[in-house]
Amino acid sequence: MSVLKPLLIDQLPDTWDLPIGPRFRRKQLSDWVFKKRANSFEAMTNLPEQWRKCLCEKYRIKSIELLRKQGSKDTTRKYLWKLAEGDYVESVLIPASPALYGDKADRFTLCVSSQVGCAYGCKFCASGLEGWKRNLSAGEIVSQIMETEKESAERISNLVFMGMGEPMANFENLMLAIDMINSDWGLNIGARKITISTSGLVPKIRALADQERQIRLAISLHGASDNVRDSIMPINRKYPISKLLEACSYFCSKKKQMITFEYILIKGINDHFDQAALLAKKLKGIRSKINLIPYNKVAGLPWERPEKSHSQEFAHILARGGIKATLRLEKGHDIDAACGQLRLKEIS
Ligand code: SAH
Ligand code: SF4
């Protein structure tokens, strides 16, 4: 049955009334969609005409349209997509070279969006500025990858759900999309190459731990005490740090995996050294590493990043506390494609 899943590209479950065919027909269909990348159902010449007709009537192969492509000096590329309903989202392609100055990139990470806007309203983030509009369908999520591959002529090797939106708040479509992305009949991107980032939806972290795939998890932490986290991330009032870290421990032990904690450093807000010391204490015993990200300026928001030396000292305190921390090299800053810079407003 699973080979029918490619048809999840933008359908409603109750429209699954394709002619019932043998398994090999479904395999032919998924090959056309994911392997041969057919542009139309008419092109699927080895399928019976009845199938093609039925597919044309009920499904779309492609659910997004490229509107604009921007390249950054550091080779990061940002794609703006128009969705069928007239909404817009972005994806960011981040090539990585084997060596710092290597010539050809061998890894292509795509940062994908999961929602139009975001309901969680973190105070520092561009994506949440205008609120939430709607969830992306599984097809719209998968199409970002397939269309980026077409546009860039590169094969996406890694995926991060760190674009616009809170992926865990669109859990059902996210899981349908991951089925298409991870399965061998689909895009065949390994589960360990897929990272979901969340601001901390505790029940969904547990649900992700309970499903079978070895997807990676990143947590947007950004504060070590509830006081600090409450002040910048409203979700913390619902799921405070203690509950969040309990769910993280559950994930680690269930999946035998390490978690990545993202910590943006915002000057004067969450970059006090006592937060670093507290963080080291609280993360003891959770298999994890911390990515420290100097805050990216967002137009209209007052926040700033700390001095480099301050960020480095923050990292040192964590290291002295026994926590692996890296100060992240930010990419795509000049085209507003860096973390938290994706927003609806600049599109219109
Ligand atoms: N909603 C999910 C996925 C979006 S990921 C989440 O919050 O995890 C976007 C990442 O960029 C998150 O880690 C977010 O906290 C971070 N971010 C948001 N605004 C930022 C900014 N201005 N500078 C740097 N990082 C930012
Ligand atoms: Fe939404 Fe994540 Fe931005 Fe918070 S950081 S507003 S959860 S996209």
> Of 111, 248, 252, 339, which residue is the catalytic one?
339
Which atom of ligand 1 lies nearest, measured to the CA of 114? 3
116-130, pLDDT tens digit by residue? 999 999 999 988 888
Six-digit token string for 285: 């015993």
Q: What are phi and psi of 207, to 5 degrees?
A: -65, -40
- Quick check: 7 pLDDT over 60? no
Q: How many CB atoms lie within 10 A of CB 32?
A: 22
**Distance from Cα 105 to the centre of ligand 2, integer Å:** 29
**Distance from Cα 327 to the centre of ligand 1, integer Å:** 15
292 close to ligand 1 (CB < 6 Angstrom) = no
The verdict on whether 90 is a catalytic residue reads yes
26-53, pLDDT tens digit by residue? 788 889 989 999 989 999 999 989 888 8
Cβ pair 95, 105 in contact under 8 A: yes
263 close to ligand 1 (CB < 6 Angstrom) = no
Ligand 1 atom 3, closest CA = 162
Helix pair angle (202-210, 241-255), 10° resolution: 10
113 close to ligand 1 (CB < 6 Angstrom) = no
Rounded average pLDDT over 334-346 = 61
Q: What's the pLDDT score for residue 55?
A: 84
Of 108, 203, 198, residue with least CA distance to 162: 198
> Of 49, 54, 90, 125, which residue is the catalytic one?
90
330 falls in which pLDDT band (50, 70, 90)?
low
166 close to ligand 1 (CB < 6 Angstrom) = yes
**Distance from Cα 339 to the centre of ligand 1, integer Å:** 5
Q: What's the pLDDT score for residue 5?
A: 46
**Distance from Cα 293 to the centre of ligand 2, integer Å:** 15
Q: What's the pLDDT score for residue 96?
A: 86
Of 123, 67, 121, 61, residue with least CA distance to 91: 67
Mutate to test the pocket of ligand 1, among 202, 244, 262 (most ligand atoms within 8 A of CB): 262
Given 3-state DSSP classes, what are the helix, strand and coil percentages for the chain, each rounded to the nearest 5? 40, 20, 45
When mean pLDDT is compared across 61-65, 111-115, 257-261, the lowest value belongs to 61-65
- Pocket around ligand 2 at a 6 A CB cut-off: 118, 120-122, 125, 127-128, 165-166, 199, 220
**How does 7-23 read in b/e, with b if 16+ C-beta sit within 10 Å?**
bbbbbeeeeeebeeeee
17 falls in which pLDDT band (50, 70, 90)?
very low
Bridge partners of 65, per DSSP, are 82
Predicted TM-score (pTM) of the model is: 0.92
21 falls in which pLDDT band (50, 70, 90)?
low
Residue with tokens 């390490």: 258
The verdict on whether 57 is a catalytic residue reads no
